Copies of this chain bind each other. A is one copy, B any other.
Amino acid sequence: MSPKITVELLRHLRQAMKNSKYITEPIQAYIVPSGDAHQSEYIAPCDCRHEFICGFNGSAGTAIVTEQHAALWTDGRYFLQASQQMDNNWTLMKMGLKETPSQEEWLISVLPENSKVGVDPWIIAADQWKNMSKALSNAGHSLVAVQDNLIDAIWEDRPPRPSTKLIDLGLKYNGLTWQDKVTALRGKMAERKVSWFVVTALDEIAWLFNLRGSDIEYNPVFFAYAIIGISNIKLFVDSKRLLHPAVQEHLELDSPSKPELTIQCFPYESVYTELQAVCAALAPKEKMWICDKASCALTRVIPKAHRSAIPYTPLCLAKAVKNPTEIQGMKMAHIKDAVALCELFAWLEKEIPKGTVTEISVADKAEELRSQQKDFVGLSFPTISSVGPNGAIIHYRPLPETNRTLSLNEVYLIDSGAQYLDGTTDVTRTVHFGTPSDYEKECFTYVLKGHIAVSAAVFPNGTKGHLLDSFARASLWDSGLDYLHGTGHGVGCFLNVHEGPCGISYKTFADEPLEAGMIVSDEPGYYEDGSFGIRLENVVLVIPAKTKYNYRNRGSLTFEPLTLVPIQLKMINTDLLTQKERDWVNDYHRKCREAVGAELERQGRKVALDWLIRETLPILNK
């Protein structure tokens, strides 16, 4: 892949930074955070501003441009990708390495005295604004809100904001009506004496109203805001989307069942003024919730005395604990997904020797096979299909110029997933179609041991996921190896493939405790730049664990894998496994064979079934 040429773009941006059309006083630096006005991880094309200015198209990155410098901060998943996509006008700032300055430190080191640093207040989260502003003002600079987005100002062919059709999933998939969800939410608000809640995260709005859209690729969400009061529901969404009779009926727009469940609809853009109106009418002690990750622009509408900024909203928490219908849906989605992947791997074994299968063609084939499954909607993220050295690019996405051919000589890593009406999947398998080297097997086995250590972990109720992160690393650490990303993330149910408030990562302390019904990924890896990448990912459900004792009646939890795709035995050095680990693998494979085998049989997919049976033979004891 060749880097984006950014000389002219940077010249334009630097001109805009001095242009009184946009700003009253010139700014010496401009921050381009990733995300949109909803702080989404995946964004619509109209919001891909860091990609527009620097070329790097990974999901996480912050660009900062000063009069002399341009730098991009991203994390370990993207170091290689970012270095390949950016030209030499840009400095790559590798987050998480000791020598890498923070954005604040870097700004302070390069800026002249008394500098002004600009940022779009809609794109920066309130908590980020606060930290950045404090650090800059401590050093004699100031952070200023630039109302006109300067990237948009120089972006000539910027695409319009999407407004796709809304779909009502129905109780069969949701398990709860939106009315029940609003009522439960109001219960939480009443408990905390909060009378309003400003909902800004797109997946929270989609979940609350039991609606889905397709405004953002891979994420079945739609651009909207909501303001929920104890007796009001204000929904801000492009009004033409509400004209569809099914949506009208679903939201009871014409005939609400109860007055307090009447939805008032407003145009998407009017959230700012409407929030101002709500705030103007607040009684002296009234409290309003807003997520501390909501945009600075919207957060600052709420007077401080009324504002209660919370790290995780009650919707985020409620959404994370899946109800029985959602759990059943997720299980079914994962079985269908496994059917597609068994087909894929059986097909690959046959096709690879012909020398015509490439990273892109596998990704396409995987999508085709998934699309044959019931209730398939689309992919849940861009497929990472990577051969040999490309596997070391953690969030690699094959492009025509990087596309490699699969062979019998290199490790192949595929991290992919789909959206089905009944659930979201995310699975990574690392395989070899010839004979893996001893070293590749050794590394794979360490990763597998880490995967099992998390998946089989038993831990007390109330444990936060970050406390499990080191379990995934211990076997790698023992040999001096590691990986520079977290171990797991929350997974939505026909929603975002990455969601809070739980996860398994050394990077946070603020995650919420794991609870039965939460769903996270378990995905340790190992990456060697220029050689290969290994990752082994299952989506797992938090379930109660039976233990011999029960200290202080706290109860224990463990994980049940929802992903049911065989782990390639050829990649395992079974001598490195303990008996407990062998048993885990054999038990896992037995479950794959039972659940996925039955579905393959039902679907009459004989070749894939034979492949599954062969790939799930037990490891024999020494």
Contact = CB atoms under 8 A, between A and B. Distances in A.
Nearest to A467: B470
Interface in A120-144: 138, 140
B551 A481 contact: yes
A551 B479 CA distance: 9
A531 to B, nearest CB: 12
Given A138-B308, A471-B474, A480 B556 contact: yes
B471 A469 contact: no
Interface stretch (A25-33, A419-427, A429-437, A456-464): A456-464
A459 B480 contact: no
A549 B480 contact: yes
Given A468-B470, A471-B470, A509-B509, A460 B479 contact: no
Given A98-B462, A140-B285, A509-B509, A549 B479 contact: yes
A450 to B, nearest CB: 13
A184 to B, nearest CB: 20
A547 B474 CA distance: 13
Main secondary structure of the interface of A (DSSP, over half): loop
A504 to B, nearest CB: 11
Interface in A453-500: 457-460, 462, 467-471, 473-474, 477-482
Max chain B Cβ within 10 angstroms of own Cβ: one of A140, A285, A556? A556
Interface residues of A, number: 35
A547 B457 CA distance: 26
A21 interface: no
A356 interface: no
A240 interface: no
A172 interface: no
A550 interface: yes
A506 B140 CA distance: 37
Contacts of A556: 477, 480
A548 interface: yes
B140 A480 contact: no
A354 interface: no
Give the 6 A-B CB pairs with smallest separation, nearest first.
Answer: A480-B547, A509-B509, A480-B549, A479-B548, A467-B470, A481-B551
15 contacts: A140-B285, A457-B477, A458-B477, A458-B478, A458-B480, A459-B470, A459-B473, A459-B477, A467-B469, A468-B470, A470-B471, A471-B474, A479-B549, A480-B549, A480-B556
